[in-house]
Amino acid sequence: MRTITASLFIALDGVVEAPDQWHFPYFNDEMGASVGASLTAADTLLLGRTTYDSFAGAWPEREAQGGEDAAFAKMLGDMRKIVVSRGELDFAWRNTEQLRGELLESVAALKREEGGPIAISGSVSVVRQLLAAGLLDELQLLVHPIAVRSGMRLFDEGSSSIPLRLVSSEAFTTGVLNLVYAPAESAGSASYEDAKKHIA
């Protein structure tokens, strides 16, 4: 079965909205390598409508310009791209299609297809739904040492918690933490009486 990994830039206060306004001062070779690795490992890119519009508005032009990021832009163009949207879309960027049907059922079917890993970049609404449904295999959070203090946060109000386990962690020289999580079983219940046994 194919796996799905989502990667997000996130501030210390949980804000994930408009990272282009606050994360670039922290973007160095370490982050570039991490972001590149998560995308080059996949053969399919799953995107929400807003993220797709942002990508399609930038990367085809960068590929055509032939600058230093043209090879990365070409890789994105060559990938299969699937866009989640309720409305009918018309795509100019090559190798792009729209996800048909209900999101969770369609993504579950996509995971059963033959193929390699699936990557999600940004697309917070999609990530939230897949994470809550247990369809996300890994969540990569690039935690920036800044409190943005306004904007959409990754986790919204919900009726149930989402337990996760830490798969790997790495601290970049900029202070960014590269944290990778996977779904986990519930940690169970405990009380202060249980916790105080561990207080020195």
Domain extent, residue 79, equals: 4-198
How far apart CA 200 and CA 198 sit, in angstroms, is 6
Question: Which pLDDT band, with edges at 50, 70 and 90, does 179 fall under?
Answer: very high
CB count in 10 Å sphere of residue 146: 16
Token pair in block for residue 37? 């690795």
- pLDDT of the residue at 86: 87
Is-contact 45 119, C-beta < 8 A?
Answer: yes
How far apart CA 164 and CA 23 sit, in angstroms, is 25
Helix (H) or strand (E) holding 56: helix 49-56
The CATH number of the domain where 102 resides is what? 3.40.430.10
Q: Residue 106, class by beta-carbon neighbours within 10 Å (0-12 exposed, 13-18 middle, 19+ buried)?
A: middle
- Phi, psi of 163, deg, nearest 5: -75, 140
Q: What is the largest CA-CA distance in the chain?
A: 63
pTM of the model: 0.92
Is-contact 14 129, C-beta < 8 A?
Answer: no
Q: What is the pLDDT of residues 81-127, one digit of tens each?
A: 999 998 888 899 999 999 999 999 999 999 999 999 999 999 999 99
The torsion of the CA quartet 61, 62, 67, 71, rounded to 10 degrees, works out to -120
What's the total number of domains in the chain? 1
Q: What is the pLDDT of residues 126-145, one digit of tens each?
A: 999 999 999 999 999 999 99
- pLDDT of the residue at 166: 97
- pLDDT of the residue at 157: 81
Q: Residue 21, class by beta-carbon neighbours within 10 Å (0-12 exposed, 13-18 middle, 19+ buried)?
A: exposed
pLDDT at 193 over 80: yes
- pLDDT of the residue at 152: 93
How far apart CA 169 and CA 177 sit, in angstroms, is 7
